[in-house]
Amino acid sequence: MFRAAGQKILPGRTILQIIPALDTGGAERTTIDVAAGLVDAGARAVVASENGRLVAELQAKGGEWIRYPAATKNPLKLGLNIARLKRLCREEGVALIHARSRAPAWTALRAAHSLDLPFVTTYHGIYGGRAAPKLLYNSVMARGDAVIANSRYTADVITRLYPWARERIEVIHRGTDLSLFSPSAVAPERVEKLRSAWGVEPGRRIVLLAARLTGWKGQKFFIEAARHLIAGGLSDTAFIMAGDAQGRDHYARELDELIAAHQLGKAVKRVGHCADMPAAFLAAHAVAVASTEPEAFGRSAVEAQAMGAPVIVTDLGAVPETVVAPPDVAAAGRTGWRVPPSDARALADGISEALSLRASQRSAMQARARAHVEAHFSLRGMVDKTLAVYERLIERKSDRRTR
């Protein structure tokens, strides 16, 4: 790992993170990463949750897991959960509670207030619903002593819905493990294995869209963009859609039918889940993020840039803030392209420009993109900033108690 921040206040302190379950996902992965940073800082990292496949990894990194029914939304059980969590905090000597999901956040909020403990929340996504009951339920995530937003876009949404939380919002972008997402860390054999599994012939370029199969991820516009480019004479490129259907078999069939209708079967491939994303991004000559609805963060765009792949993203939600592009900089300083959402022609134009880069231009863009990710989206940066929030709140609470 790395030597984390938090050397002044955190050593010997017990920090409790609470999340429904430790299965795979962005919130769960961030929980593990922060726990590892806490251990490196000399603190106790405790996670309360139901079971999950990441429990073993948490424990391997020095964190401690406590079984807790954090996923329940049953109002009759919440009172019992509050009492149970208060007892856990007293027994473990918890100094701060960090909630990463709405259901356990209501329990954690009441326990923290009762015990006079600092309370932190993180918005890992944008919660839907505009009806008053739903807004009230969601509002618990804006009630932390610090409210961590995973992007500026997320922070703006929180401020619009809960303006009273404005002064407590901290933007901390999700971190990428740059030791994994590094071109030097990926052996050529891993890339060749993927190309072979995808049926991509030697010498053929790859344009990749890596996202689960759901309509708002823009796979249909990606297919249309491929159609435009192939009709315009592009013949040496495979368009790969990597992502699990997650039960959306009807949508997967729609994509297959669209590919067949345009006679694109030799050029456009749907390859299912990819377990080796560093190799996938390294194999790609360009990466598209074609979302048609706002995303709370742009993980694929960040990871692709870390691996040196030019990115073309829709100018929507948080994804654009992960990519340096005009009008923010001159074209020569870009790390990718931002294009209008739901516009296959614009997406095709961006892909075409990325594929047309000369070797020197591509090399320079790769260096800029890597430097951009290292400066703004590293795992170390995310953990250090999070631990700094913990340290500040614990110190503030301690000062108030001694007055």
CATH code of residue 396? 3.40.50.2000
Q: How far apart are CA 44 and CA 63, in angstroms?
A: 7
What is the structure's pLDDT at 7? 58
The two most distant CA atoms of the chain are separated, in Å, by 75
| Mean residue pLDDT across the chain | 94
Which residues lie across from 148 on neighbouring strands? 122, 170
Mean pLDDT, range 134-141, rounded to an integer: 95
Q: How far apart are CA 219 and CA 263, in angstroms?
A: 16
Mean pLDDT, range 53-81, rounded to an integer: 90
Q: Are 46 and 64 in contact (CB under 8 A)?
A: yes
Reported as a pLDDT band with limits 50, 70 and 90, residue 1 is very low
pTM above 0.75, yes or no: yes
Residues 202 and 342 occupy one common structural domain: yes
The answer, yes or no, to whether residue 370 has pLDDT greater than 70, is: yes
Residues 196 and 138 occupy one common structural domain: no
Residues 362 and 394 occupy one common structural domain: no
pLDDT in tens, 162-173: 999 999 999 999
Q: What is the domain extent for residue 148?
A: 14-175+378-402
What is the structure's pLDDT at 184? 96
Percent of the chain with pLDDT over 70: 98
Q: How far apart are CA 390 and CA 401, in angstroms?
A: 17
Domain annotation covers residue 20: yes
What is the structure's pLDDT at 174? 94
Domain annotation covers residue 352: yes
Residues 6+ apart with CB under 8 A from 289: 209, 211, 218, 298, 300, 301, 311, 312, 313, 314, 319
Q: How far apart are CA 400 and CA 275, in angstroms?
A: 49
Mean pLDDT, range 45-67, rounded to an integer: 96
304 vs 246, higher pLDDT:
304
Buried b (16+ CB within 10 A) or exposed e, 167-198: ebbbebbbbbbbeebeeeebeeebbeebbeeb
Q: How far apart are CA 395 and CA 9, in angstroms?
A: 7
The answer, yes or no, to whether residue 3 has pLDDT greater than 50, is: no
Residues 312 and 382 occupy one common structural domain: no
Instruction: Extract the tokens encoding 19.
Output: 């999340």
Residues 6+ apart with CB under 8 A from 232: 352
Domain annotation covers residue 6: no
Give me the number of domains the chain comprises.
2
Domain annotation covers residue 2: no
What is the structure's pLDDT at 403? 67
